[in-house]
Structure 1
Amino acid sequence: MDLTTITAIVPARTRADLAALGAGSAPLAGGSWLFSEPQNHLTSLVDLMALGWPSLVVSGEGLEVAATCTFAELAALPDDQGWPAHPVLYQCCTALLGSFKVWNVATVGGNICASLPAGPMTSLFSSLDATALVWRADGGDERVPVAEFVTGNGSNVLRPGDVLRSVQVPQSSLTGRTAYRKIALSPLGRSGAVIVGLLRADGSFMLTVSGATVKPEQLRFDRLPGAGELAAAVEAVTTWFTDPHGAADWRRAVSTALALEIRDELAAPPGEAPPSHYTTDRYVSEEAAR
Structure 2
Amino acid sequence: MAITDDIRALAERFSGTLGVWAQSLDTGETVEWNAEETFPAASTIKLPILYEVYKQAGEGRLDLAERLVLRAEDIVPGSGVLKDLTPGLALTVKDLATLMITVSDNTATNLLIDRVGREAVNDSMRELGLRGTHLDHKLFRAPEGAPPNRSTPADLGRLMRLIAARAVLTPAACGEMLDILGRQQYTEQITRRLPDYDGFVEPGREPAVRVASKSGAIRGTRNDVGLVEARGRRYVLALMTRGCRDLRFHPDNEASLLLADVSAALYRHFVTGS
TM above 0.5:
no
- Work out which structure has the larger RCO, using CA pairs closer than 8 Å and 6 or more positions apart in sequence: 2
- Quick check: which has more Rg, 1 or 2? 1
Q: Write 1 or 2 for the structure with the bigger share of helix.
A: 2
Q: Write 1 or 2 for the structure with the bigger share of strand.
A: 1
Q: TM-score, normalised by structure 1?
A: 0.29
